Structure 1
Amino acid sequence: MDGMTVAAIKDPLRDNYREAFITNPRREEHLADGRVALLCIDVQYLDAAEGWGLFADPDKSGVPEEGRRYYFDRLKTTVLPGMRRLQEGFRGSGLEVIHCRICALTRDGRDRGAGHRRLDLLAAKGSKEAEFIEEVAPVGDEIIIDKTASGVFSATNLHYVLGNLGIRSLYMCGVYTNECVETTARDACDLGYFVTVVDDACATVTPRLHEASLATLRDRYARICTVSEVLRDLDQLRDSSTAGIITQHR
């Protein structure tokens, strides 16, 4: 490329996208108004549990042993604990925690999207594969959205549900970073939501795929944050709410 490295090429639209989607003051307004939700994506027995679903026969999973070790270690040590902290933070702030999963309406999966049929990807209604990993499973009457495609917006009524709830900003976590998470983040941005993808609460089967996906989303379609950074956002929300209550009673 005429002696220039990719890293040396300045993105001419970076500032435009940052101002529109990342540093836009409406992000903070939505948080202050409670118009935000945590979206937990596909952390279920189909694709996030050893010995089940895609990994029932590890040698047929398509993921090399090194990739499987990396993926499940990241889930166990980083992603699941991080997701749990996020869920507890959102619940403690009175904010919505929404769960989406791959789950067909039928036992034989005849309602699946074309892509999932071609991949022979099926979590049948009522199956173990459709169950959420217990550590991060829904609590109480938290909303569950079933899908049979990579992106949740293209295959479900989530946009309608979020509109009814008044949600305008979404925090996303789950698996796989480079598939369902990235697709959902892009679609959400196109639909007008402010999107935050939580780096250490997402995973895929190689660190390179994970980082490449986040690099594509960062400062373009989504703000990329850590679990700790998101929890600090929620702490500020609770502090401001408490201050407001104190002020009202003076």
Structure 2
Amino acid sequence: MGWKTDWRSFYYETAEEPEDISLDPGRTALLVIDIQNTYLEVPDDPAEAARWQPFFDRMNDTVIPNTRALQDWARGQGIEVIHARIACLKEDGRDRSLSQKKPGFNYLLLPKDREDSQIVDAVGPMDDEIVVTKTTDSALTGTNLRMVLHNMGIERVICAGIFTDQCVSSTVRSLADESFDVLVIEDCCAAATQELHEHELRVINMIYCHVMSADEVKSL
């Protein structure tokens, strides 16, 4: 068992194992997506807070510490660490994409300077690390990240963050469509529920990315 055979959907149950991966630090970036203060705010309503508690537990106990450790590892390897966050440039959010204006969970009005739109301190940028601010789900579609990656000679992007089935998946698909090699680190990601998280990993694995654990990527 391992990343070569785990997380396979119906489409790839009988596929050959992928080849070994060798990371070239100078051509690799770690992209951390949307780990922002707003997503760690516990709802005032007790029932809603209880409904979201498993997500908060995964974020605080697994995703944030694992992501910070992954960032530290990447920095030590000479791998570029990049950050993406959702934030609107206008206070009224007129610049947001339609997906962030729809009513319900995806309605996001996060002005760029407000505290809830900021990246969680534990996984925040250091020194001159790049932060891209997006007004749509995909960090590639909603920013100049595509050009930045090409300018730096990046060919492989390691992805972590939230939500697995929304902005992470959207970013991964965009990167794959632009012919970047993508790795998704499953224990550095979360969706609202573990079921949604695992389902999306199986959907995107092998066609858009390779899904692996933090320990597996560090051992490449």
Moved more, 113-122 or 214-223: 113-122
Quick check: 1:11 aligned with 2:3?
A: no
Specify the alignment match of 1:240 in structure 2. none
Amino acid at match of 2:93: G
Amino acid at match of 2:70: L
The structure-2 alpha-carbon separation of the partners of 1:141 and 1:70, relative to structure 1 and needing over 3 Å to count, comes to same
Matches within 5 A, 1:103-122: 103-119=87-103, 120-122=107-109
Amino acid at match of 2:140: F
Following superposition, the deviation at residue 179 of structure 1 comes to: 0.4
Amino acid at match of 2:87: C
Q: Does the CA contact (< 8 Å) of 1:178 and 1:204 recur in 2?
A: yes
Match for residue 186 of structure 1 among 173, 197, 208: 173
Q: Which has the larger radius of gyration?
A: 1
Instruction: Identify the structure with the greater helix proportion.
Output: 1
Seq. identity, %: 35
Q: Which secondary structure state, in structure 1, belongs to the residue aligned with residue 125 of structure 2?
A: coil
Following superposition, the deviation at residue 113 of structure 1 comes to: 0.7
Match for residue 41 of structure 2 among 44, 47, 50: 50
Q: Which runs of 5+ in 2 are unaligned?
A: 1-8
Q: Does the CA contact (< 8 Å) of 2:25 and 2:77 recur in 1?
A: no
Q: Which secondary structure state, in structure 2, belongs to the residue aligned with residue 211 of structure 1?
A: helix
Following superposition, the deviation at residue 204 of structure 1 comes to: 1.1
Matches within 5 A, 1:1-250: 11=11, 15=15, 22-23=18-19, 27-28=21-22, 31-32=23-24, 34-47=26-39, 49-51=40-42, 55=43, 57-58=44-45, 64-119=48-103, 120-233=107-220
1:95-152 Cα offsets, whole Å, 9 max, x none, are: 1000000011122211111111224311102101211111101111100000011111
User: What TM-score, normalized by structure 1, do the two folds share?
Assistant: 0.77
1:165-196 Cα offsets, whole Å, 9 max, x none, are: 10010100000010000111111111101110
Moved more, 163-172 or 101-110: 101-110
Q: Does the CA contact (< 8 Å) of 2:25 and 2:79 recur in 1?
A: no
- Cα distance between partner residues in 2 of 1:217 and 1:101: 21
1:35-54 Cα offsets, whole Å, 9 max, x none, are: 0000000000122x124xxx
Q: Does the CA contact (< 8 Å) of 2:37 and 2:120 recur in 1?
A: yes
Q: Does the CA contact (< 8 Å) of 1:185 and 1:195 recur in 2?
A: yes
Moved more, 190-199 or 121-130: 121-130
Amino acid at match of 1:46: T
Following superposition, the deviation at residue 10 of structure 1 comes to: 5.7
The structure-2 alpha-carbon separation of the partners of 1:161 and 1:10, relative to structure 1 and needing over 3 Å to count, comes to closer
User: What TM-score, normalized by structure 2, do the two folds share?
Assistant: 0.87
The structure-2 alpha-carbon separation of the partners of 1:218 and 1:12, relative to structure 1 and needing over 3 Å to count, comes to closer
Amino acid at match of 1:133: V
Amino acid at match of 1:132: I
Q: Which runs of 5+ in 1 are unaligned?
A: 1-8, 234-250
The structure-2 alpha-carbon separation of the partners of 1:121 and 1:12, relative to structure 1 and needing over 3 Å to count, comes to closer
Q: Does the CA contact (< 8 Å) of 2:63 and 2:189 recur in 1?
A: yes
The structure-2 alpha-carbon separation of the partners of 1:83 and 1:202, relative to structure 1 and needing over 3 Å to count, comes to same
Following superposition, the deviation at residue 33 of structure 1 comes to: 5.5
Instruction: Tell me how large the CA RMSD over aligned residues is.
Output: 2.1
- Cα distance between partner residues in 1 of 2:143 and 2:100: 15
Q: Does the CA contact (< 8 Å) of 1:98 and 1:142 recur in 2?
A: yes
Amino acid at match of 2:205: R
